[in-house]
């Protein structure tokens, strides 16, 4: 890639980024164009990866070497597409039932072992090691066990919330709230990180080497909004979406 | 006809499901060979699933263009975006990087796809802030507990927050990282584990229902 | 009067808040605050220690399953751990089940591979994208080459020096999955638990609290969470990157959210008593 292409890339990247951010001010044609490009480009990437990584080496190459067996799953895969033809859509069941059967068959033992048995063991096991634990560790182990029981009460005895049952399941809600609170706190960080990523890219595009792509595109966008507010008609698609 | 339309598909889900389940516990060569073959097939069948999304996206935007419905011009950009990736992919045989650096496909990936995909999700940062301002209300004891956990996490994950914690609560000799560690390893584990066990039971029951043909909504209507 | 004035705060055009956030994140990018991450979470340290203990030549399998939408959090993590693996002269294999990841995987190995003078096929191998996670994981248990007879460039994997002596999970010393999806759960359930392969992860901050139970039971050997996890790992390997600069840029933003939540709730409290 030549230097010119890299600069063009910085302009394109900054332009598309600002076009999407412009929605925060108001819905506008630039955002709509970027949004539609995103759908197309996303599908394009998925399509090309599937063609070059799976269809080619996993179907075309074996068939061209005489391994005809791969035609069976390929036909089952293609059968999924009969979904679009109402009269023939039953054919897609051959593909779907295979996917569901395989997935369910393997999910049962894996879920049972990983998310059920191991979790019960993980709750109970620390209690058997109390002799070698510090008082605080014992307290924590008991709290985890107590919390798990309360949360399960909340889920599984939701119909009979009376008396002691209600108290226990109410305590379960507090444990869930701590979990959701932690998740919310971390969500803030996650979302800001993504914003940082795009701003960092805009900052890179703003350099003299990239001929101030960010500043010029941003200025162009501001001029568009100013002119639009003076001369533009307010169409139904261009309401203030940011409110 | 019912046999072909319904019975055979239900037999497929039952036979494949039961044999896959058994294969998990039986390390016999026949069982291993069977699950190997099924895995290879499953991988190929799945490789066609995304076409459902691709075709319906193309149909819907093609119709918008051909019928010239409101905003049909934007639909053209779906196809432009698609070919902006596909054409360089064909030219470079799907390679985005060579020893000489990124190809035109790699260029399209970083300039178009990364910019669009990254920004679409980055926009959510703005909404989480305005939601926090407008809707985060501490109206009950439970909401207060949620707030405290969120507050500690938001504060303690960044260095400036850690400095503030130390200057205000330094006298307790408990660092904010210790508190976060405790939240994540004790009460949050209890909360999540309860959810996990609940979901596991639900998932196992649903999987059995699928294998035995009790749950068959995914088959569609007759 | 005061009550009405206070209530006006809730009717403020939210675009002002958007602008405030943009300033809080953008300004530290232009002028870093110089407040890098200093604390290291124990679960991050455990990943570092595990790799540190592996003898040179051990085979580490990376499952890099993130697309550009989570790049700022996960790409620095992946880069840092791959750097660490190369520094320790470990053999590296890469799989992915997210199509959008392929471009970023190439990027990592183009830069980090060159930095540590590592050769494709000899020191590392990048396998092609596969659409079904469970199928690929199950197949690899008996024969990796059954699922991956070729690398992403169509070269025969059986003859590659990097895969010398590698047949299935028994020969894999460590699995590291970096993802913004539930793919790490699959590694734990279908590989870690079943075949006793040590599995560690790197996830977005959003999903980090959900992995507490797996960490407590030891089903996960360690975990990097979000931008902070990336910054922590970068400081452990003493190679600051986008994670380190990222956490510096988040300082003001985090305080802004706290200030907004507190302000709105204090206003409500005052209005209630007026």
Burial C217-243 (b: 16+ CB within 10 A, else e): bebbbbbbbbbbbbbbbbbbbebbbbb
Residue B156 lies in a domain: yes
Task: Give me the pLDDT at residue A234, please.
Answer: 57
Confidence of residue A239 (pLDDT cuts 50, 70, 90): very low
Query: Does residue B112 sit in the same domain as residue B79?
Result: yes
Confidence of residue C273 (pLDDT cuts 50, 70, 90): confident
In the predicted model, residues of chain B with pLDDT beneath 70 are 222
Residue B75 lies in a domain: yes
With an 8 Å Cβ cutoff, are B159 and C268 in contact? no
Quote the DSSP letter at residue A208.
G
- Contacting partners of chain C (3+ CB pairs under 8 A): A, B
Quote the DSSP letter at residue C187.
I
Domain boundary among B85, B105, B122: B122
B180: containing domain = 125-185
The 10s digit of each residue's pLDDT in A117-164 is: 999 999 999 988 888 899 999 999 999 999 999 999 888 765 666 677
With an 8 Å Cβ cutoff, are B158 and C254 in contact? yes
Residues of chain C in contact with residue B109, where contact means CB-CB under 8 angstroms, are 103
Inter-residue contact A26 to A237 (CB < 8 Å):
no
- Contacting partners of chain B (3+ CB pairs under 8 A): A, C
Residues facing residue C174 across a β-bridge: C60
Residue B222 lies in a domain: no
Confidence of residue A2 (pLDDT cuts 50, 70, 90): confident
Lowest-confidence pick of A46-55, C33-42, C223-232: C33-42
Confidence of residue A241 (pLDDT cuts 50, 70, 90): very low
Query: Does residue B162 sit in the same domain as residue B176?
Result: yes
The class that CATH gives domain C42-239 is alpha beta
Query: Does residue B67 sit in the same domain as residue B103?
Result: yes
Placement of tokens 């490789």 in the chain: B47
Residue B214 lies in a domain: no
**Token pair listed for C69:** 């939408």
Query: Does residue B70 sit in the same domain as residue B118?
Result: yes
C contact residues 212-271, partner B, Cβ 8 Å cutoff: 212-213, 215-216, 226, 228, 247-248, 250-252, 254-258, 260-261, 263-265, 268
With an 8 Å Cβ cutoff, are C216 and A183 in contact? no
Task: Give me the pLDDT at residue A242, please.
Answer: 46
Residues of chain A in contact with residue B47, where contact means CB-CB under 8 angstroms, are 50, 54-55, 58-59, 77
With an 8 Å Cβ cutoff, are C39 and B35 in contact? no
Domain boundary among B73, B100, B122: B122
Residue B69 lies in a domain: yes
Task: Give me the pLDDT at residue C274, please.
Answer: 76
Domain boundary among B122, B156, B171: B122
The 10s digit of each residue's pLDDT in B1-37 is: 888 999 999 999 999 999 999 999 998 999 999 999 9
Residues of chain C in contact with residue B163, where contact means CB-CB under 8 angstroms, are 35
Residue B212 lies in a domain: no
Residue B211 lies in a domain: no
Facing residue for A48 by CB, picked from B39, B94, B195: B94
B contact residues 170-209, partner C, Cβ 8 Å cutoff: 175, 177, 181, 184-185, 188-189, 192-193, 196
Identify the residue among A29, A37, A89 best suited for mutation to test binding to B, counting B beta carbons within 10 A and taking the highest.
Answer: A37
With an 8 Å Cβ cutoff, are A54 and C152 in contact? no
Q: In chain C, pLDDT over 70 holds for what percent of residues?
A: 100
Whole-complex ipTM = 0.94
When divided into structural domains, chain B yields a total of 3
Query: Does residue B34 sit in the same domain as residue B85?
Result: no
- pTM of the shown model: 0.94
């Amino acid at each position: 890639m030549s230097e010119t292409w890299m600069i063009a890339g910085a302009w394109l990247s900054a332009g598309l980024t600002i076009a999407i951010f412009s929605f925060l001010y108001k819905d506008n044609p630039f955002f709509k164009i970027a949004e539609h490009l995103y759908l197309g480009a996303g599908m394009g990437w998925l399509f090309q990866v599937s063609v070059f990584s799976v269809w080619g080496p996993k179907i075309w190459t074996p068939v061209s070497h005489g391994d005809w067996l791969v035609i069976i799953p390929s036909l089952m895969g293609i059968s999924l597409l009969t979904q679009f033809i109402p009269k023939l859509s039953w054919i897609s069941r051959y593909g779907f039932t295979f996917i569901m059967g395989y997935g369910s068959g393997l999910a049962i033992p894996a879920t049972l072992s990983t998310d059920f048995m191991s979790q019960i063991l993980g709750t109970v096991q620390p209690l058997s090691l109390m002799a070698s634990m510090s008082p605080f560790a014992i307290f924590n182990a008991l709290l985890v066990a107590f919390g798990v029981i309360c949360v399960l009460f909340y889920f599984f005895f939701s119909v009979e919330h009376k008396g002691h049952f209600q108290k226990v399941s109410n305590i379960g809600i507090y444990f869930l709230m701590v979990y959701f609170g932690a998740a919310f706190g971390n969500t803030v960080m996650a979302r800001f990180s993504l914003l940082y990523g795009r701003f960092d890219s805009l900052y890179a595009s703003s350099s003299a080497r990239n001929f101030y792509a960010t500043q010029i595109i941003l200025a162009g966008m501001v001029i568009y909004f100013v002119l639009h507010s003076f001369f533009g008609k307010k169409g139904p698609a261009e309401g203030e979406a940011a409110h | 006809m019912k046999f072909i339309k319904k019975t055979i598909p239900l037999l497929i889900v039952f036979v494949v499901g039961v044999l896959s389940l058994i294969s998990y516990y039986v390390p016999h060569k026949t069982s291993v060979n069977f699950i190997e073959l099924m895995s290879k097939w499953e991988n190929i069948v799945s490789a066609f699933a995304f076409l459902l999304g691709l075709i319906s996206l193309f149909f819907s935007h093609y119709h918008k263009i051909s019928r010239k419905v409101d905003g049909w011009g934007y639909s053209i950009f779906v196809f432009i975006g698609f070919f902006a990736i596909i054409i360089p992919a064909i030219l470079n045989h799907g390679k985005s990087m060579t020893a000489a650096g990124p190809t035109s496909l790699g260029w399209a990936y970083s300039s178009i796809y990364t910019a669009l995909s990254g920004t679409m999700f980055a926009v959510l940062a703005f909404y989480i802030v305005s939601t926090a301002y407008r809707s985060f209300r501490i109206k009950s004891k439970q909401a207060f507990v949620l707030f405290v956990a969120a507050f500690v996490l938001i504060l303690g994950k960044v260095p400036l927050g850690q400095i503030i914690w130390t200057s205000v609560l330094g006298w307790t000799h408990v660092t904010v990282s210790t508190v976060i560690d405790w939240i994540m390893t004790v009460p949050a584990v209890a909360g999540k584990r309860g959810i996990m066990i609940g979901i596991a039971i639900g998932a196992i029951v649903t999987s059995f229902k699928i294998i035995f043909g009790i749950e068959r909504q995914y088959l569609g209507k007759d | 009067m005061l009550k009405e004035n206070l209530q006006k705060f809730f009717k403020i055009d939210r675009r002002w808040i958007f602008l405030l956030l943009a300033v809080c994140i953008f300004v530290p990018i232009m002028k870093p605050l110089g407040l890098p991450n200093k604390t290291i979470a124990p679960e991050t340290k455990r990943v570092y220690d595990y790799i540190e203990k592996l003898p040179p030549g051990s085979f580490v399998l990376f499952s890099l399953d993130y697309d550009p939408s989570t790049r700022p959090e996960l790409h620095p993590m992946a880069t840092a751990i791959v750097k660490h693996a190369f520094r320790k002269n470990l053999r590296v294999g890469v799989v992915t089940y997210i199509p959008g990841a392929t471009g970023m995987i190439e990027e990592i190995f183009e830069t980090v591979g060159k930095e540590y003078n590592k050769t494709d096929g000899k020191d590392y191998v990048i396998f092609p994208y596969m659409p079904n996670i469970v199928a690929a994981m199950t197949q690899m248990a008996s024969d990796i080459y059954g699922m991956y007879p070729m690398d992403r460039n169509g070269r025969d994997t059986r003859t590659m020096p990097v895969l010398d002596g590698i047949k299935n999970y028994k020969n894999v010393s460590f699995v590291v999955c970096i993802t913004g999806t539930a793919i790490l759960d699959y590694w734990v359930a279908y590989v870690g638990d079943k075949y006793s392969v040590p599995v560690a992860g790197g996830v977005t901050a959003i999903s980090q609290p959900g992995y507490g139970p797996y960490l407590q039971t030891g089903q996960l050997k360690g975990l990097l969470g979000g931008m902070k996890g990336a910054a922590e790992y970068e400081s452990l390997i003493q190679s600051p990157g986008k994670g380190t600069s990222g956490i510096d840029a988040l300082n003001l933003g985090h305080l802004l959210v706290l200030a907004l939540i507190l302000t709105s709730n204090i206003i409500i409290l005052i209005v209630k008593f007026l």
